[in-house]
Structure 1
Amino acid sequence: MTLFRQLYSLLFGLFLLVIASLGYVQFNETRSFLSKQMESDLNNASHSLGLMLVPALEAGDMATVETLVNVIFEGGYYQQVELTWMVDGKQQTWNNAIRVRGVPQWFIDLGFFPTIDRESTITSGWIQLAKLKITAHPGYGYNELWRIMSNTIIVFSILFLIAIITARFGLSWILKPLNEIAEHAKSVARREFGPDMKPPKTLELKDVVEAFNSMSAQLKQIFNALDEEVSELRTKNLVDGVSGLPNRQYMTGRIASWLSEPSSGALILSQLTWLEDVHRRYGYQVRDETIKLLSQRLQENVSGAGETVVARISAYEFAFLLINVEREQTSKYLQQLLRTINQEMVKAGCKPNEDYGIGITERSSSGDATVSSILGKADNALQLALREHKTYHWYESSEQQLFTREQWRDKLVAAINNKQFRFRWQAIQQVGTSKYLQREIFCQLQVEDKQVHAGQFMPYVELLSMGSLLDRCLIEKIVEDRLVDKVEQPIAVNLTHQSISDVKFHEWLGQFLKENHHRGLLTFELPESSIYSDNSACEALCRILRDSGASFGIDHFGRQFGSMNYLQSFRPAYVKLDQSFAQFDDNERNTELCRALVNVAKGLDISVIVTGIQEQAQLDRFIPLKVNGYQGFILPPEELK
């Protein structure tokens, strides 16, 4: 029960007790007064009637006696009059039934007024003429008691209503600062740090507000310090100090993540030996400045591909990872890269198209490539270009494509329309137990009696902008196949970049989730890159998911270079640490970076799942970091029938 309700209930009870006490006192006083008044009237009537009856009794005039008694009795204030003649013992009785108009019978049956009677002897001198007994009628008492108590109850009720309404508004006004403190405390508990509260005029609450403001500021400073620590550690571990580009360690991890996901693209390695000539002629300071300017140009002017990662992996060697691109896009990127390098060479006083080489290799669709193999192919192409004094060499793969782009379009459209997809799922296990936290769903495409894995068709889904259609199809099929009824854990669905940015998909998903009984067992994963590239769309989608009773998480957490402050506003149920962190060497600096990322998430009460775990030795590195769960081919995907 809230403090407002407790205080309100206390005031309500006290006021009710006061009113009940006053009503009780008023009732007893009124009843006592009426009883005394009826008793006094009875005494007067008995005395007066006795004096009036003396002449008639002495004369033995019975008719006159009856007339005199009826005069008094017919007033209705007496229930019974009984007259006994002393001469012959004759007895006369007059009765009046107890009937009171305007008073409920149940009130009369309560018997608030006892029977009041007076018995007297009528005498004439020393002679006793008769005995007179008069019993009072309680009707007058009940009538007056009912009228007075009814009016009292009405007045008390009006005062009671006025009092509780006044108390409600008064308490609301008095406790308003306390309510603000409670809301502020809830926000702080959710790690949401808004502006400081204004100190109230109430002295006691003023101290509390100032204490909360101080605590909120300190907690905010702590989380900002954690965020800054993560940025510093990433800069120290994963960024080249001269160029400001990612280093070899980061690029190696990104390549590992890229190869583990359904994607396409190419890897380009370039060795710029002309930078050594700049060093020899002008010194290391000019060389470093040239590298810095070249790096900025490579990031700013080289475009034409989708997601691109540029890294400096050695003194004069740069790597370019092109994700989700075809050969035509890779070729355009290569031409822009050559033009940018030549422009910077001219600025540095070197001859263009000399003293550098570029090696290009494409990712195969078979899905069996490793980091070392694709780096080896790119390096072989680079070394061949240097030996033959060519600007670049393209490693030609003998792999045959399954279908052309247009064929893929037709087959994907048909597969989506007919829902020709099959599912696998992979368990995410809780660290230290055998309990599963969730199951991530993967899809395969049925094409001409063949199973085509996601690594082969997902690149074309992205290239053909069919992500929203595919996600809609898969979500419908998950519900139709009643997968949520087969397990007790949530089922995680990865959303494509196009779905995240598609407003129509947002509307459809919200309506679909409300119409279908998913029991909160559907959870959706958003890649971290989407949050940085389209924050408003991600925020709108997350709001829809919350309203629909579904949860969501952040995939590839820690991959992007940027602030972690988005966690405070998005509030995901969990984050999945990028697979590249599982590939890092086990050294103190890498461990501290992972620890800082985990602390940022867990400080906001967000579960952390580490991905890319292939063997127990990798998992053992993360157990001391207190992660919640792990995922990888240590728990391989299972076929769904």
Structure 2
Amino acid sequence: MTLFRQIYTLLFALFLLVVASLGYVQFTETQSFLTKQMESDLNNTSNSLGIMLVPDLEAGDIVGAETLINVIFEGGYYQEVKLTWLVDGKQQVWQNPLTIEGVPQWFIDLGLFKTIRRESTITTGWIQLARLEITAHPGFGYHELWRTMTNAIMVFSVLFLIAIILARVGLTWILRPLHEIAEHAKEIADRKFGPDMAVPKTRELKSVVQAFNSMSAQLKQIFSSLDEEVGELRKKNLVDQVSTLPNRQYMMGRLSGWLSEPKNGALIMAKMDWLEEVHSKYGYQVRDETIKLLSQKMKQHLDGASTSVIARIAAYEFAFLITSSEHEQTSKYLQTLIRTINQEISKAGCKPNEGFALGIAERKGQMTVSDILAQADNALQKSLQENKVFHWFETSEKQLFTREQWREHLSSAISAGKFKFKWQPILLNDHDAVLQRELYCQLEIGDKKIFAGQFMPYVELLSLGSLLDKCLIETISGKALLDRNFEPIAINLTFESINDLEFHQWLNKLLRSSALRERICFDIPEAAVYSSPEACEALCTIIRDNGAHFGIDHFGRQFGSMSYLQNLRPSYVKLDQSFAYYDESEHSSELCRALINVAKGLEIEVIVTGIEEKQQLERFVPLKTNAYMGYVSPPVDIEL
């Protein structure tokens, strides 16, 4: 029971007690007064009637005595009058029935008034003439008592109604600060740190509100400190201090993650020997300033060409990871890069198209980090040997389908639901029980098995992401995959679905009609949170309000604040697998621990990804993560 109801009930009970006490006092006082009044009236009547009957009794006039008594008796205040003549013992009796108009019989049956009788002997001198016995009629008492109590009950009822209304309004106003404290406490428990509460005038509540405001500010400061710590550790471990670009360690981890995802794109390796010339002419300070300016220009111009990661991997070497592009788009990116470098070379007083070389390797099929690095490095060395600005690594692998063929195959597969499925268990750290299963899909075109890594780039390129996600979600419901296991199923959402309002409405309708929606999880990439925060928040609200769950995929990959965790409140985060790739240095562990502490501080489960063997998992055990996934427990085919 709420505090409001407890106080309200207490006031209700106290008021009832007061009303009942007043009613009881009023009842007993009225009853006593009426009884005394009837006794007094009976005494007066008995005395006066006895005096008036003396002449008739002396004369033996029975008719006169009867007439006189009838006049008194017809007033209705007496239940019985009995006159006994002492001369001959003759008795005369007058009676009124016990019926009272306007008073319910059950009230009369309560017997609230005792029988009141007065007996007197009528004498004249020393001679006793008759004995007179009068019994009072209780009708007057019952009638007056009933009238008084009904009026009192009506007044008390009106006062009671007014009192409880005023009590409710007053308690609501008085306890409003306490209600705000309770709501604020819930928000703090959910790690929401909003603005401070207004300080009430009530002395006791004033100190409580001030304490809550102070606690909220401290917790907010702690979270901000953790967020700042993550930022500082990233700068320290993953950022080159001169160029402010990601360093070699970050690029290697990002390469590993990129190659494990269904993406296309290319890697460009660049060697900038002209920077060494700047160093020899003007010194290291000018060289560092030139590197910083070059980095700024490259980020400024290349971001518009294609989504990419630019890193400084050595003193005069840079790497450019184009995370999603086809050959033509990669060519445009390359042209923009060459133009940007030549502009900075000219500003430094060096000759354009000299003093630098580029090697380009495109991602084809299944590749490892070593494969693509070797190809890009071979292309770079070829460019240096031939004294060319760039060299494109040639591969004999042919493209599986043209863009139009991909469109035809994918559209047909989505409309007909021709996908094959696998799911990969996510295991708890403690006892290897399954926390959830992440769903993967693949295609069979003719006799060829097409993996997600091959067709997903074209799904994004052809804007089929929302249709594919709808197909996968409908398959989960249509094929009753949720009935096969008790664990939730996780689905990776595409960027297009996250930004598609029509998909939001469709998903809202589907989740409302699903009986097992609490066992559906949606993975949202962290990059989408930064690029489309409003769309992500709208989608997450739909998922959470319908009882489903969602998590952040590739957690910790992006350079930015972790404050979005407070707004979105995901159920879990999947640590980017680059952290599994990073070396076991103290700095890497500090960064990983800080990221995990940010999530754990908000009571968010942390799942480690990219685990290939048990020894690798042991690095994360001291960090107190919740679960892990990777090829240590590979995906399993689902028979539909």
The question of a shared fold, defined as TM-score above 0.5 by the shorter chain, is answered with yes
CA–CA distance in 2 between the matches of 1:415 and 1:106?
A: 85
Tell me the alpha carbon deviations over residues 407-466 of structure 1, each in whole angstroms, 9 at most, x when there is no partner: 111121122212222332222222213433222222223433654221121111100011
Partner of 2:105: 105
Partner of 1:327: 327
Tell me the alpha carbon deviations over residues 186-220 of structure 1, each in whole angstroms, 9 at most, x when there is no partner: 33333322333333333333333333332222222
Does the CA-based 8 Å contact 1:304-1:329 persist in structure 2?
no
CA–CA distance in 1 between the matches of 2:303 and 2:399?
A: 26
2:410 corresponds to which of 409, 412, 435: 412
Partner of 2:155: 155
Partner of 1:498: 496
| Closer/same/farther in 2, CA of residues 448 and 52 from structure 1, 3 Å limit | farther
1:398 aligns with 2:386: no
Partner of 1:241: 241
- What secondary structure, in the 3-state scheme, does the structure 2 residue paired with 1:302 have? helix
Deviation at 1:59, TM superposition (A): 4.1
Please say which of residues 625-634 and 83-92 is displaced more in the overlay: 83-92
Deviation at 1:304, TM superposition (A): 5.5
CA–CA distance in 2 between the matches of 1:95 and 1:65?
A: 16
Partner of 2:380: 382
Partner of 2:462: 464
Deviation at 1:580, TM superposition (A): 0.7
Partner of 1:81: 81
Partner of 2:141: 141
Partner of 1:517: 515
| Closer/same/farther in 2, CA of residues 423 and 84 from structure 1, 3 Å limit | farther
Does the CA-based 8 Å contact 1:415-1:446 persist in structure 2?
no
- What secondary structure, in the 3-state scheme, does the structure 2 residue paired with 1:100 have? coil
| Closer/same/farther in 2, CA of residues 55 and 467 from structure 1, 3 Å limit | same
Does the CA-based 8 Å contact 1:77-1:140 persist in structure 2?
yes
Give runs of aligned pairs for residues 470-489 of structure 1, distance below 5 A: 470-489=468-487
Partner of 1:426: 424
Partner of 1:571: 569
Partner of 2:212: 212
CA–CA distance in 2 between the matches of 1:109 and 1:450?
A: 99
Tell me the alpha carbon deviations over residues 230-249 of structure 1, each in whole angstroms, 9 at most, x when there is no partner: 00000100001111110111
Partner of 1:34: 34
Partner of 1:95: 95
- What secondary structure, in the 3-state scheme, does the structure 2 residue paired with 1:537 have? helix
CA–CA distance in 1 between the matches of 2:479 and 2:35?
A: 84
- What secondary structure, in the 3-state scheme, does the structure 1 residue paired with 2:620 have? helix
Q: Which runs of 5+ in 1 are unaligned?
A: none
Please say which of residues 557-566 and 171-180 is displaced more in the overlay: 171-180
- What secondary structure, in the 3-state scheme, does the structure 2 residue paired with 1:517 have? coil
1:538 aligns with 2:536: yes
1:183 aligns with 2:178: no
CA–CA distance in 2 between the matches of 1:480 and 1:553?
A: 24
CA–CA distance in 2 between the matches of 1:280 and 1:334?
A: 28
Please say which of residues 487-496 and 573-582 is displaced more in the overlay: 487-496
| Closer/same/farther in 2, CA of residues 308 and 70 from structure 1, 3 Å limit | same
Partner of 2:606: 608
CA–CA distance in 1 between the matches of 2:94 and 2:280?
A: 142
CA–CA distance in 2 between the matches of 1:67 and 1:435?
A: 108
Partner of 1:170: 170
Does the CA-based 8 Å contact 1:178-1:205 persist in structure 2?
yes
| Closer/same/farther in 2, CA of residues 42 and 421 from structure 1, 3 Å limit | farther
| Closer/same/farther in 2, CA of residues 451 and 135 from structure 1, 3 Å limit | farther
Q: TM-score, normalised by structure 1?
A: 0.95
Does the CA-based 8 Å contact 1:305-1:325 persist in structure 2?
no
Partner of 1:299: 299
Q: TM-score, normalised by structure 2?
A: 0.95
Deviation at 1:619, TM superposition (A): 1.5
Number of residue pairs matched by the alignment: 639
- What secondary structure, in the 3-state scheme, does the structure 1 residue paired with 2:201 have? coil
| Closer/same/farther in 2, CA of residues 57 and 636 from structure 1, 3 Å limit | farther
- What secondary structure, in the 3-state scheme, does the structure 1 residue paired with 2:325 have? coil
Deviation at 1:356, TM superposition (A): 2.4
Deviation at 1:75, TM superposition (A): 2.1
Does the CA-based 8 Å contact 2:269-2:318 persist in structure 1?
yes
1:116 aligns with 2:106: no
Give runs of aligned pairs for residues 220-235 of structure 1, distance below 5 A: 220-235=220-235
Matched AA of 2:14: L
| Closer/same/farther in 2, CA of residues 77 and 459 from structure 1, 3 Å limit | same
| Closer/same/farther in 2, CA of residues 561 and 84 from structure 1, 3 Å limit | same
Deviation at 1:86, TM superposition (A): 3.2
Matched AA of 2:332: K
- What secondary structure, in the 3-state scheme, does the structure 2 residue paired with 1:242 have? coil
CA–CA distance in 2 between the matches of 1:373 and 1:336?
A: 26
Please say which of residues 566-575 and 440-449 is displaced more in the overlay: 440-449
CA–CA distance in 2 between the matches of 1:107 and 1:279?
A: 114
Matched AA of 2:46: S
CA–CA distance in 2 between the matches of 1:69 and 1:482?
A: 100
Does the CA-based 8 Å contact 2:574-2:609 persist in structure 1?
yes
Does the CA-based 8 Å contact 1:382-1:393 persist in structure 2?
yes
| Closer/same/farther in 2, CA of residues 443 and 88 from structure 1, 3 Å limit | farther
Please say which of residues 344-353 and 121-130 is displaced more in the overlay: 121-130
Deviation at 1:530, TM superposition (A): 0.8
| Closer/same/farther in 2, CA of residues 92 and 486 from structure 1, 3 Å limit | farther
Please say which of residues 608-617 and 90-99 is displaced more in the overlay: 90-99
Please say which of residues 411-420 and 168-177 is displaced more in the overlay: 168-177
Matched AA of 2:375: K
Matched AA of 1:248: R
| Closer/same/farther in 2, CA of residues 401 and 137 from structure 1, 3 Å limit | farther
- What secondary structure, in the 3-state scheme, does the structure 1 residue paired with 2:518 have? coil
Please say which of residues 474-483 and 572-581 is displaced more in the overlay: 474-483
CA–CA distance in 1 between the matches of 2:233 and 2:479?
A: 45
Does the CA-based 8 Å contact 2:556-2:575 persist in structure 1?
yes
2:369 corresponds to which of 371, 374, 379: 371
Deviation at 1:594, TM superposition (A): 0.7
Partner of 1:356: 356
- Determine what percentage of the aligned residue pairs are the same residue: 67
Does the CA-based 8 Å contact 1:305-1:322 persist in structure 2?
no
- What secondary structure, in the 3-state scheme, does the structure 1 residue paired with 2:249 have? helix
Does the CA-based 8 Å contact 1:431-1:628 persist in structure 2?
yes
